[in-house]
Amino acid sequence: MVTRSQKIRLGIFIGVAIILLLLLLSLIIGSKFLEKRDIYYIAYKDVSVGGLDIGSAVKYHGIRIGRVEDLKIDPEDITRIIVKISIKEGTPIKSDVEAVIAVVGITGLKLIELVGGTPEVETLKPNSYIKPGASVFEAITGKAEVIAEKLEFILNNLADIFSGESKTDLQDLIRNAKNSLANINYILEENRDNIQIGFANIRQISDELVVLSNDAKKTVNDISTIINSEELSNLLSNLSTASDDIKTAQLKKTIQDINTAVAGINKTFTHIDLTLVESREDIIRSMELLKETMQYLNEFSRLISEDPSLLIRARGVEEIPGGK
């Protein structure tokens, strides 16, 4: 049986537990309410925000940084939905950040994902508008519409092809192709033996080409071995040495011939010099006689020019001695 004192102790315990729980809740809730936040706005135009509710998460690079505080229609433009969000104080939101509405799993709930942002641009101040971005759902929807349009265009073209004259032409084309295949099959059947013989010949030629290729490869290897052999290197070295010796011998002979020719020229000039030395006196004497003769001739010419009668007188003088 529970005593009065036990009931009192149980009541005190329950009361203390409730008080502690209330204090804990007040601390948690108070910290949330007292937490300073920055307010920003996003204006979506002609975009459905279904699934986005008050309290929905706001994330940046996958990290939750805030929540949706309010959603309302712009009274000045009913096509715009203004979303009010609160973000932890001090979170840097750049001016080129975009707010994209993203879907959470398959539940249909949505959240706001902030994407982009570069360190070089300025930071938005609180109570500013963040640029709205195109949602993934809208991008997929747009691509689906484009794909649907292209598919419709293809189906229309196919319908045009398989209708009217195009259908007849296509049937004729298929019929002609079928006949061509039948003719090809008939030709193959009629010439099966010849084709097999041709393939056998091709196989034989291929085998012979393989043998020839192997022989050529062997020949090339033998030539390569000969080229790289030490005997060929020695032979080439000997030929080079012999060529150098021949060139050296020819050069020596040429030098000897040149020396012989130079010696002959020197000897000739020596003989000429001796000849000039030996006949110098005769030449000088002949020159003096020639000079004296020229003087006599000049004197004779002068006398004749002054007195031509000297020729006659001289002849008379010559006749007198002859008469004696």
Q: Are 83 and 54 in contact (CB under 8 A)?
A: no
98 shares a domain with 58: yes
Q: Residue 59 CB: number of other CB atoms within 10 A?
A: 15
CA distance 17 to 10: 10
The boundaries of the domain holding residue 80 are 36-134
Is 68 found in the same domain as 54? yes
- Based on the domain organization, do 120 and 169 belong to the same domain? no
Residue 168 counted as domain residue: yes
Q: How confident is the model at residue 292 (pLDDT cuts 50, 70, 90)?
A: confident
Q: Is residue 98 part of a domain?
A: yes
**For the whole model, what pTM was predicted?**
0.38
Model pLDDT for residues 22-59, shown as the tens digit of each residue: 888 777 765 555 567 889 999 998 888 888 888 889 99
Domain assignment present for 212: no
Let me know: does 59 contact 113? Beta carbons within 8 Å. Answer: yes
| Shared domain check, 90 and 124 | yes
pLDDT digits (tens, 9 = 90+) for 183-221: 888 887 888 777 888 888 888 888 888 888 888 888 888
User: How many domains, in total, are found in the chain?
Assistant: 2
Residue with the larger pLDDT of the pair 170 and 141: 170
